[in-house]
Amino acid sequence: MSGEQYDYDLICIGGGSGGIATARRAAAHGARCAVIEASRLGGTCVNVGCVPKKVMWQAAHSREVMARAADYGFSGVAPSLDWGALVSAREAYIERLNGIYDRNLDNSGVDLIRGQARFTDPHTVEVDGQSYRAERFVIATGGTPGRPGIPGGDLGIDSDGFFEMTDRPEKVAVVGAGYIAVELAGVLHQLGSDVQLVVRREKPLRGFDAAIQDAFVESIEAHGPTLVNHFTPAGLEAAWGGYTLHGADGRTLEGLDQVIWAVGRLPNTDELGLDAAGVRMDAAGTIPVDEWQSSNQPHIFALGDVTDNPYPLTPVAIAAGRRLADRVWGGQHERRLEYRDVPTVVFTHPPIGSVGLTEADARAAHGDAVRVYETRFVPMDFALAPAEAKQRSTMKLVCVGDDERVVGVHLFGVGSDEMLQGFAVAVRMGATKHDLDETVAIHPTSAEELVTLT
C-alpha cells in the first residue's frame, strides 16, 4: 500500500506519556504523525498523576522537615498551610507543562488534533465528525480511576477528585492498598488530616517484598496514618454528620469528611470503537499486546496503561513508545522494551524503592541459590530526633547463584526515591554482591549501607 492514501504514517490516540513520546520519536525518524488528545496534554501523569502527586508529596515532606527543625535548635517554626495557595501554585506549574508539551509537539512537527477519537474502520478514526486515515496507529489512551460496585460507591472522590479538593479534609478514609492509596493517605496525614488507610487484607502493597511491606506497616503503626485492615467496604452513606463507611463484617468508620477511593484503574477503551478497528480487548477492557506492542491487528499498536502491561508507570509507557518508534520508523529491527528490572518508587513518607525480584519471587525461581542481605537502621536524618520521632530504614539485597548476582534491591527509608535509580543500572548490568562490596562507600549516607552489607 502506498503511504499516500493516508493522511498520516502514524496516529497516536492519547496525548499522555506514551502517545506523545511515540509520536515525537517517530517524527524524528521522518514519519508524518498526529496525536489526538481529548483533554489536557500530558495525560494522567502531568495533570492528575505523578506531577501533582509529587508536588503534594514535596509539600508533605517540607512539613516533615519543618517538624524536625527544633531538633537542630530552631525555634518559631510553626507552619500553617494555605491549601488554596498550594493548589494554585501546583496548577499554574501544570499549565506551564501543558504549554511545554504543546510547543514540543509543534517543534517536532507532530500535528495535534484536539477531541475524542473513535475508530470507524481499521485505518480510520473520527474526531468531531472529521475522519483521519493512517497507515499505523498507537493506542495510548491510559486509564481512569475505578470505584467499587457497592451502594454509595459513587459518593466520595477518587484520585482525580483529590486533585480538585479546595480544602484539606479534617477526617478522611482512603480506601485501597496500592500505590495511590498509600501515597494519598501519606500526604494527607503529613499535612495534618486524621487519615484512616482502609485495606481488605492484613497489609497494603501486595507484590512488594515482604520486608518492605512489614517495614511500611511498622512505620505507619508508629507514625500514622491509621491502618484499618481486614476491612472490606460494603457501602458508603452520606449524612449531615459526615460519611459512614460500612464494612462487610459490620464495622463502621463514621464522621468522615471525605472518602477517597483508590481501588484500581480502568483502561480507557469504552469509547474507542475498537470493534470497528477489529482490535481485541480482554475481559477487563485492556488491550493485550505482544512483545512488540502489537495488538491482534498488526498495524495497530498499544502501550502504557491501556494495555496488559505489568508496570503501569510513566517511564514504562515512554520507553515502550520510543522503542516502538525506533523499530518501526528508525530501522532498529530488534528494539523493544523488555518488561523486567523496572525500578519503581512509592512516594510514601519515607519513600519505598524497589527493582527486580522480591525474595519470594527469587526463591520461587531459583530455590536455594538465593541469598539475602538485609539491614535495618535509624538514618542520620533522625540523629538528633527524640526516640518517638525516629523512623527506621530497611534495605534488602536479593542475590542469586555462586557469584551472588544482585537480582533485587528493596528500600524503605529517607532518600530511597533518589537512591534507587543508580542501583537499577547496576542490577540491569548484572552487578554482583562483590561489585557492590568493591565500591567505596559514601559517608555518611544511607546509601552506603548497600555497599557495606554483610
Ligand X SMILES: Cc1cc2nc3c(=O)[nH]c(=O)nc-3n(C[C@H](O)[C@H](O)[C@H](O)COP(=O)(O)OP(=O)(O)OC[C@H]3O[C@@H](n4cnc5c(N)ncnc54)[C@H](O)[C@@H]3O)c2cc1C
Ligand Y SMILES: NC(=O)c1ccc[n+]([C@@H]2O[C@H](COP(=O)([O-])OP(=O)(O)OC[C@H]3O[C@@H](n4cnc5c(N)ncnc54)[C@H](O)[C@@H]3O)[C@@H](O)[C@H]2O)c1
Active site residue 366: no
| C-beta separation of 352 from 346 below 8 A | yes
Binding site for ligand X (CB under 6 A): 13-19, 36-39, 43-45, 49-50, 53, 116-117, 140-142, 159, 180, 268, 271-272, 304-306, 312-315, 317
* Rounded Cα–Cα distance for residues 222 and 338 (Å): 39
Of residues 300-329, which lie at the interface with ligand Y (CB under 6 A)? 312-313
**Cell numbers for 306:** 491501556
Q: Which is nearer to ligand Y, 268 or 297 (CB)?
A: 268
**Cell numbers for 30:** 521522518
* 395 Cβ neighbours under 8 A, 6+ residues apart: 374, 375, 376, 409, 410, 411, 412, 413, 446, 449, 450, 453
Q: Which is nearer to ligand X, 142 or 169 (CB)?
A: 142
Q: Does residue number 45 form part of the binding site for ligand Y (CB under 6 A)?
A: no
38 binds, among ligand Y, ligand X, none (CB under 5 to 8 A by kind): ligand X
The reply, when asked if residue 179 is annotated as ligand binding, is yes
Task: Name the active-site residue from 223, 410, 434, 443.
Answer: 443
Q: CB 83: neighbour CB atoms within 10 A?
A: 14
The reply, when asked if residue 243 is annotated as ligand binding, is no
117 binds, among ligand Y, ligand X, none (CB under 5 to 8 A by kind): ligand X
Q: Does residue number 345 form part of the binding site for ligand Y (CB under 6 A)?
A: yes
272 binds, among ligand Y, ligand X, none (CB under 5 to 8 A by kind): ligand X
175 binds, among ligand X, ligand Y, none (CB under 5 to 8 A by kind): ligand Y
Radius of gyration of the chain (CA): 24
| C-beta separation of 213 from 128 below 8 A | no
Q: By three-state DSSP, how is residue 244 classified?
A: strand
- Minimum Å gap between C-beta 392 and ligand Y is 21
Using the Cα atoms of residue 287, residue 290, residue 293 and residue 299 in order, give the sign of their dihedral. Answer: negative
| C-beta separation of 409 from 353 below 8 A | yes
* Rounded Cα–Cα distance for residues 348 and 184 (Å): 8
Q: Binding mask 221-260 vs ligand Y (x if CB under 6 A, - otherwise)? A: ------------x---------------------------
Chain positions contacting ligand Y, by CB under 6 A: 148, 175-181, 183, 200, 233, 262-265, 312-313, 344-347
Which positions make up the binding site for NAD(+)?
Answer: 176-183, 264, 305
Residues identified as active-site: 443
